[in-house]
Each structure stands twice: as structure tokens, then as C-alpha cells.
Amino acid sequence: MFFNNLKQLHGTVYINDIWCKGCGFCVQFCPTNVLDISPEFNAKGYHPPYAKNPEKCHDCQYCQMICPEFSIFVTKDDEIAKGEAEK
Amino acid sequence: MTKKRTGVFVCHCGNNIAATVDVARVVKEMSAEETVVYSQDYVYMCSDPGQNAVIQAIKDNQLDSVVVSCCSPSLHEKTFRDNTTRAGISGFTCEIANIREQCAWVHKDRDVGTEKAIKISRSAVRRAGRNQSLEPIAVPVTRRVMVIGGGIAGIQASLDMANAGLEVILVERQATLGGHMLQLSETFPTLDCSQCILSPKMVEVSRHPKIKVMTYCEVQEVSGSVGNFKAKILKKPTFVDPEKCNICDDCTQVCPVVVPNEYELGLTARRAIYIPYAQAIPASYTLDEEACLGLNPIRCGKCKDACEADAINYDMRPETVVEEVGAIVVATGFDLYPQENIAEYGYGKVEDVLDGLQFERLCSASGATSGHVLRPSDHKVPKDVVFIQCVGSRDPAQHCAYCSKICCMYTAKHATLYKHHVPDGRAYVFYIDIRSGGKGYEEFVQRTMEEDGAIYLRGRVSKLYRHNGKVKVLGTDTLTGQNVEIDADMVVLALAMQPSKGTAQAAKVLKIGRDKDGFLAEAHPKLRPVESVTAGIFLAGAAQGPKDIPETVAQAGAAAAKVIALLSQATLSHAPTVARVRRSHCTGCEMCVTACPYHAIRLENGKAVVNEVLCEGCGSCTATCLRAAIEVKNATQMQVFEMIEACLA
Ligand SMILES: Cc1cc2nc3c(=O)[nH]c(=O)nc-3n(C[C@H](O)[C@H](O)[C@H](O)COP(=O)(O)OP(=O)(O)OC[C@H]3O[C@@H](n4cnc5c(N)ncnc54)[C@H](O)[C@@H]3O)c2cc1C
Ligand code: SF4
Ligand code: SF4
Ligand code: SF4
Ligand code: SF4
């Protein structure tokens, strides 16, 4: 759409249900509202998050930093990152 | 009180007054007034003999007060007050009775006109009867100037004033100086590259020892008056230290965010951290707080990690600075009339329908397409381009009633530039009529038609819409009476110029007037075109009315000259007709303190005290005070009552 072909960078969130204690920090603090609380229960009986709008993740890694249980992390999507070049 | 000795001087103003007012009768009636010891009429009181007659009469008759019945005080009050001063009595004992604008010009019947002229004159005589001899108040001046708006107008005014030795503070709300001129490709009528002629000036401003450039800043509050303004300026955080940033561009390589680039009018995208143009001044990146995901070292933070110069600081906060200046130049420029308002051309939603500034960016070597004219939808070279003039202008029913003045010229320029870029393309221009007054302008339009072969069609486009990957343009050629239908690859609208949003904001902060279209109002449309009604505030550029660059530069120079003249005086004189408090009556209720629009009153030991330098003598305080404890000198309540009485008698 844009003449300079700049692309949005994307990330993918990975959630390790088993460690999650359902505090909801990641859901609350994600700046682009990627996450929401899942209706499912995990083995501990908590509601873990799930990626409701995965396309909105821009790899800011905030959830990864604030999760007290180390149960969520993000990776940068490589193929799109490559397409970012302006030239 | 000893009885006053007033002289009354009634002017014929040729036939302007004498045709509707029996001047001799006014003189006769006035001589019957108790305080009047001398009265006369004269054909032109403001002429040299007329003025000398006033001076002579004051001396010969030991007059201590004067009434001149003539035109509006905005024209000759100064003349006659100067004369009374020259004759040896205070200028503030002289009153003007306006019997021209407020009487002769609005009446036809001579009897009615004469009656009214007598009442107006009599009320002035009564007022003069209680006037005190006052001397002007001397006010020290701050020899610094604030310029609001860093477009070509603000840049030129700043340079002119700084070169004359004044200290200048140039406040620009965007991240770079330059305004709209920085977006243009080539400029009519000589087709010189806009950035090439502008950027040397921008560099000069930024290096000038007398100019302090404040970009990404906004003026929030201004108090004080001519000679001594105090401005509160908000510095918005850029989150990048311009001293450290070495424009390496590493940050944008890692920033994940993409938003439309407003400096390229949405033709390209930018990151949340960006530099508006390569030539931006200051040469530094800016972090867009709204688009950024982070602004917090543990959130995102990619740019800060990448920045080797350590220029990025997420802890920057808005700052307010206060600057004291003696004068202000407002050069806040224009915006284009919004395409979303134009129903017949698809509310700005039809693809490949651009505005003039977007087309400038397409032609510009530093623009979105590196100077290749391509259409946005498929990035192909457009072969049929329709230019439509007067979009939003000259349409009092729906849009703006005024002519935007520059669109005829920039459309001709666009057609020429297009033909230079795409020699085998066809350029169609729809126009109502061509207004090309200006040096070399008409010749330029003729060249566009004859040498560059643009097809000029006189008429309006009634409708346009997307059709088979093109834009279908339906219009009429009023010269042949034929309907015209063009399958265009691209359409460029010459949208009206309107005052910028920042102009409205600045006008509000400065409390200066705007005209019916929102442009800044000048003090007099012919004689004071660069001054606002408020003393010490001057106007320059497209904020005052549609203008091209040469006119903008000329007006900026004129505003600068006015400021230089104003601030070359050691002190300014302030009218002594200011409020005075009768301490015995004042209860310290503070009603006047809140009523005063100039913040001139404060409470000291439980009584109101007036700062005479700030007081403009507006009388708001008098009107609110329940105990008549505060009054404006030479416009006391007693004087006002007597004037009303004289008018009703
Ligand atoms: C499509 C197009 C093509 C044109 N082509 C030509 C041409 O070829 N030749 C020619 O002579 N003229 C041309 N012009 C006209 C030219 O652009 C203007 O004459 C000129 O830009 C006016 O300059 P300015 O400084 O008054 O306003 P602007 O360029 O609008 O600058 C105003 C500046 O003030 C800033 N500002 C606004 N409000 C505030 C605020 N409250 N506080 C702080 N800063 C504020 C703005 O951010 C801006 O930087 C063209 C205009 C258009 C639209
Ligand atoms: S922050 Fe961690 S623990 Fe808390 S809900 Fe999110 S994934 Fe679960
Ligand atoms: S912190 Fe903001 S500006 Fe910096 S890289 Fe992340 S989104 Fe972009
Ligand atoms: S990485 Fe740092 S130095 Fe380089 S452009 Fe960005 S802010 Fe400036
Ligand atoms: S006349 Fe009264 S209200 Fe008006 S400026 Fe002076 S002190 Fe303020």
C-alpha cells in the first residue's frame, strides 16, 4: 500500500499453560491487546491466556518480561522481518 | 473645581460631514455649553491649517480641554492629541466626537443628522469637562521576539529580526522547521527546487547566534502586553537527545511499528521512531509517543538497545519554559481543506484521487517515489491525469466562499511537471477561470497550455468514481457545451487553503481576532496589513490569508520591520487612562481581580491594586465593582452618566 514498502514487524507468542497461575498480567499489559483469558482450565485449575489477536503481536516482549511464572515468551517472525527492507 | 475652558472644533470633512450635518448649527449649540469658551468649524480640521487653528486657539484662549467633532478616533485621535500636547496642555484632555462614521454616513436626513451630531458633540464636551491632565506612562521594553510557526514566513521573519540584532525565539509545533514549503517539489513560476532554496535558510536559522529554535513545542499561555509579554511554552518530549543523535537510522531498522507518514501525506509509512525528512532541522530523530509500544525499558525497548549513541531516553517528560518577549509574530500557516468534506469527489475515499500536496511529494526527488510520478494503487505511471481547480474554493453554498489564490498557479505547475515527467501522458485541467496575476505568472500558464500541451477545459467536474481500475471523471466543457468523460489514471484536486489548526490554537492563546473564514484578522485591511488589533502582535504568511511564497516572504519582512521599529525604542508609552482604586471604598472582595481580562489587579493588604502597565483601561472592573471603588481615569462613572444624560436630553 505504501510506496516505501515498510512492513510491520510481527512476533509469535508461545504460552506454557502448565506453569501459568492465571494472574492475567500479560493480558492486562499487552499494549496491542493480543491476549485474552482463556475459558479453559490448566492442570492447576487456573485460566491461562490465549492469543486472541495473534496478528497484532509486534514482538515488544512485555508479557515475557512481566510474567512472574516465566510461562509466556515471544519470538520475532523471521520471514516478515526480512521483507522490511526499504530499498 | 475651577470651571473648565473647553474649545470645540467641528470638521466638515469636505462634504462627508457637511452634506448631512449643519456644521454651523453644531458650532452654535456647542458655544452655548457652560464650559465652552471657544468654538469654530473648518472644512478639513485634519489639514495643516486646521491643525494650526486648533493650536492657535488653545494658546489664544487659554483652553484647558478640547473636543474635535470629526471622524472616528481610530483615525485622527492621535493627530489632535499631539496637537494639544504641542499647544502645551495634556493630550488626554482632548476628546473626539465621532460625527462622521457614527452620524453623517449613516443618516440621509439633514435634520436628524444635525440633531445627532449635536448630541454626540455635547456628550464629548461633558466628558472633556471632567478630564484630568494625564501624562503617558513609560514602559520598559524587552528586546526579544517570539515567532510562532516555523514555515517560510516564520523563518524569514526570524532571520530579518535576528540580523537586526534582536533575540528571537522561534516556536514550531512539528518535529522540523520548514512548514509546507519543505513538502513542495518545484515552485512556480521559475520552477526552482523548493527544498534547495529553503534548506539554506533553515540552516542559517539553526546556526544563528541570536535565534533559539524550539521545535516540537507549543505556546500554551501568553500574558502581559506590548513590550512585555510572558509566554509559557510547552516542550513536548521527543525521547531522543538531539545533541547525541547522529542520524544513523539504526533505530528504525529495529522498530516494529508502522504508521502512515504524515510528512509524506500518507504516501509512505514510517516507524514509531522517525525523522520527518533527510533535511529536517533539528537533525534528530523523534519518537512518536502514541505509536510506540514501549517507552519503558522492559517493554519493547528495541530502539534503545540499537542506539549506539545512547541518544534515546524514555524518561523524557514534557517541560514548560517561560520566555519574556517584547513582541510576537504569528506565522502559523495553512492546511488544505479536508478532502473528506467533498461529497461529489468521493469524500477522499476514491483511490488515486490525490490532493495537491500529495502530488508535490510524488514529483519531489526526495519524496515517496524518489521523483517518479506513479499512481498509489498499482505503482504504475499514470497516462491520463485530470487536475481539478477550485475544489472547495469559491463555493459559498457548501465550502469556502473565498478564492484560494494560489491554486491556478500550482495546478499549472503540476500539469507542467507532470508533462516533464511523463512526456507522452495527457494532462487535463478543469478550471472556472484562470487567475494568474503576478510577475511571470500569466506567461507561465500560457507555456503550460502551449508548450507543455496541457488540455485546459473550462468547466466543473460533477462527479468522479472508480470504474474498471480507473477513475471515471464526468464534467462539462462550458466553452463547447459538450459533456466530457475521461477515464483517468489519476486525479489531482486543488483543494482550498484554509487557516491551519495551529492558527486557531494560537489565536485563542493570544486572544487575537480571526476573520469570518478563520484567517488571522489584520488591524486594518489596507493600512495595517501585518498588525493584529492587539499592539505588539504581528502577522505573517498564509495564516493571515491565502498566499504564495513571494508574498509570504514579503509579508514576513514587513512584520519583521514593524517589530524592529517597535523594539528600537528605549521605552514604550502606555496610555495613562488606566483604572484607579479608591482605597477607602474598596472592601477587598476581589470581584475586579477575577473580572480583569489582563490580570492587572491584585490584592495588597486587603485592597485592590492596579498594575498600570498591564491595565488596558477596558473598564471591566468598574462594571463589576459593587461599591464604585475602581474607575478608569478620564472615563469615570460620573463622566459616563453625564454623557448619557447629554445624549438623552
Ligand atoms: C499544493 C501546493 C503547491 C504550492 N506551490 C507553490 C509554488 O510553487 N510557489 C509558491 O510561491 N507557493 C506555493 N504554494 C504556497 C506555499 O506553500 C505557501 O505560500 C507557504 O508555504 C506559506 O508559508 P507559511 O510559513 O505562511 O505557512 P506554512 O508553510 O503552513 O508554515 C506554518 C508553520 O507553522 C507551524 N504551526 C502552525 N500552528 C502552530 C502553532 N500553534 N504553534 C507552533 N507552530 C505552528 C506549522 O507546523 C508550520 O510549520 C503551494 C501550496 C500548495 C498547497
Ligand atoms: S503473566 Fe504469566 S502467569 Fe500471568 S497470566 Fe500471563 S502467562 Fe499466566
Ligand atoms: S520502543 Fe517504541 S520506538 Fe522504540 S523500537 Fe519499540 S516501538 Fe519502536
Ligand atoms: S539509533 Fe540513536 S543515534 Fe541512531 S538515529 Fe536512532 S536515535 Fe539517533
Ligand atoms: S480597566 Fe480594570 S479590568 Fe480593564 S484592564 Fe484595567 S484594571 Fe483590568
Q: What is the 3-state secondary structure (H, E, C) of B256-272?
A: CCCEECHHHCCCCEECC
Q: Given an 8 Å threshold on Cβ–Cβ distance, is A60 in contact with B294?
A: yes
Task: Say how far apart CA B57 and CA B436 lie, in whole Å.
Answer: 55
Strand partners, B140: B571
Q: What pTM did the predictor assign?
A: 0.85
| Residue in A with minimal Cα distance to B260 | A2
Task: Say how far apart CA B618 and CA B229 lie, in whole Å.
Answer: 18
Q: Scanning the structure block, which residue is given the C-alpha cell 462539462?
A: B476
The one-letter amino acid code at B567 reads L
Contact B232, B219 (CB under 8 A): yes
The structural domain count of chain B equals 5
| Residue in B with minimal Cα distance to A74 | B300
Contact B162, B343 (CB under 8 A): no
Q: Scanning the structure block, which residue is given the C-alpha cell 496610555?
A: B575
Domain match, B545 and B601 both = no
Let me know if residue B1 belongs to a domain. no
Let me know if residue B418 belongs to a domain. yes
Number of neighbouring beta carbons within 10 Å of residue B641: 11
Domain that holds residue A31: 11-86
Domain match, B480 and B533 both = no
| Residue in B with minimal Cα distance to A66 | B298
* Residue having the nearest C-alpha atom to atom 4 of ligand 4: B248
B596: helix, strand or coil: coil
Q: B75: which residues sit within 8 A by CB, 6+ positions away?
A: none
Calculate mean pLDDT across residues A8-29. Answer: 93
Task: Say how far apart CA B319 and CA B202 lie, in whole Å.
Answer: 25
Let me know if residue B638 belongs to a domain. no
Let me know if residue A4 belongs to a domain. no
The number of the ligand nearest the C-alpha atom of B156 reads 1
Q: What is the CATH number of the domain that holds A29?
A: 3.30.70.20
pLDDT at A86 over 70: no
Please spell the DSSP secondary structure of B170-202, one letter per residue: EE-SSSSS-GGGGG-SEETTTTEEHHHHHHHHH
Let me know if residue B225 belongs to a domain. yes
Q: What is the CATH number of the domain that holds B412?
A: 3.50.50.60
Q: Given an 8 Å threshold on Cβ–Cβ distance, is B293 in contact with A58?
A: yes
Domain match, B454 and B487 both = yes
Task: Say how far apart CA B300 and CA B257 lie, in whole Å.
Answer: 11
Single out the residue of B9, B113, B119 nearest to residue B57, CA to CA. Answer: B9
Nearest to B258 among A8, A31, A66 (CB): A8
Q: Which atom of ligand 5 is nearest to the CA of B601?
A: 7
CB pairs under 8 A between A and B: 59
Task: Say how far apart CA B235 and CA B114 lie, in whole Å.
Answer: 60
Q: What is the CATH number of the domain that holds B614?
A: 3.30.70.20
Number of neighbouring beta carbons within 10 Å of residue B266: 17
| Residue in A with minimal Cα distance to B369 | A3
Grid coordinates given for B470: 480507473
Domain match, B14 and B105 both = yes
Cis? peptide before B49, omega within 30° of 0: no
DSSP element (H, E) containing B554: helix B549-567
Rg (Cα) of chain A, in Å, rounded? 15
Domain that holds residue B25: 6-136
Let me know if residue B242 belongs to a domain. no
B268 C-alpha to center of ligand 3: Å?
A: 19
Q: B80: which residues sit within 8 A by CB, 6+ positions away?
A: B45, B51, B54, B66, B68, B70, B94, B96
Nearest to B258 among A6, A61, A62 (CB): A6
Domain match, B547 and B418 both = no
Q: Scanning the structure block, which residue is given the C-alpha cell 514604550?
A: B572
Let me know if residue B649 belongs to a domain. no
Let me know if residue A1 belongs to a domain. no
Domain match, B396 and B515 both = no
Domain match, B354 and B488 both = yes
Contact B320, B235 (CB under 8 A): yes
| N-to-C CA span, chain B | 24
Helix axes B152-163, B194-207, angle to 10 degrees: 40
Domain match, B428 and B475 both = yes
B551: helix, strand or coil: helix
Q: Given an 8 Å threshold on Cβ–Cβ distance, is A8 in contact with B293?
A: no
Let me know if residue A26 belongs to a domain. yes
pLDDT at A84 over 70: no
Task: Say how far apart CA B645 and CA B648 lie, in whole Å.
Answer: 5
Write out the E strands in B432-522. 455-458, 461-467, 470-477, 482-488, 490-495, 497-499
Calculate mean pLDDT across residues A57-82. Answer: 85
Let me know if residue A5 belongs to a domain. no
Domain match, B213 and B86 both = no
* Residue having the nearest C-alpha atom to atom 6 of ligand 5: B615
Reported as a single tens digit per residue, the pLDDT across B55-114 is 999 999 999 999 999 999 989 999 999 999 999 999 999 999 999 999 999 999 999 999
Which stretches within chain A are classed as H helix?
25-29, 62-66, 78-82
So what's the pLDDT on residue B154? 98
* Predicted confidence band of residue A83 (pLDDT cuts 50, 70, 90): very low
Q: Given an 8 Å threshold on Cβ–Cβ distance, is A62 in contact with B376?
A: no
Single out the residue of A80, A81, A5 nearest to residue B269, CA to CA. Answer: A5
Q: Are strands B327-330 and B334-336 parallel, antiparallel or unpaired?
A: unpaired
Task: Say how far apart CA B150 and CA B180 lie, in whole Å.
Answer: 10
Which stretches within B87-187 are classed as H helix?
110-129, 152-163
So what's the pLDDT on residue A87? 34
* Residue ranges in chain B modelled with pLDDT below 70: 1
Q: Which atom of ligand 2 is nearest to the CA of A27?
A: 6
Domain match, B474 and B413 both = yes
Q: Given an 8 Å threshold on Cβ–Cβ distance, is A4 in contact with B294?
A: no
Let me know if residue B573 belongs to a domain. no
Domain match, B184 and B78 both = no
Q: Are strands A72-76 and A11-15 parallel, antiparallel or unpaired?
A: antiparallel
Let me know if residue B591 belongs to a domain. yes
The one-letter amino acid code at B374 reads L
- Single out the residue in B115, B136, B157 at which a domain terminates: B136
Reported as a single tens digit per residue, the pLDDT across B521-564 is 999 999 999 999 888 999 999 999 999 999 999 999 999 999 99
The structural domain count of chain A equals 1
Helix axes B23-31, B110-129, angle to 10 degrees: 30
A6 C-alpha to center of ligand 3: Å?
A: 15
Nearest to B256 among A58, A65, A66 (CB): A58
So what's the pLDDT on residue A79? 52
Domain match, B470 and B607 both = no
Q: Given an 8 Å threshold on Cβ–Cβ distance, is A2 in contact with B268?
A: yes
Single out the residue of B60, B78, B59, B80 nearest to residue B68, CA to CA. Answer: B80
B245: helix, strand or coil: coil
Cα distances (Å, whole numbers) of residue B134 to B8, B81, B92, B183, B575: 20, 12, 6, 54, 9
Q: Within 13 Å, how many C-alpha atoms sit on residue B543's CB side?
A: 34
Contact B607, B581 (CB under 8 A): yes
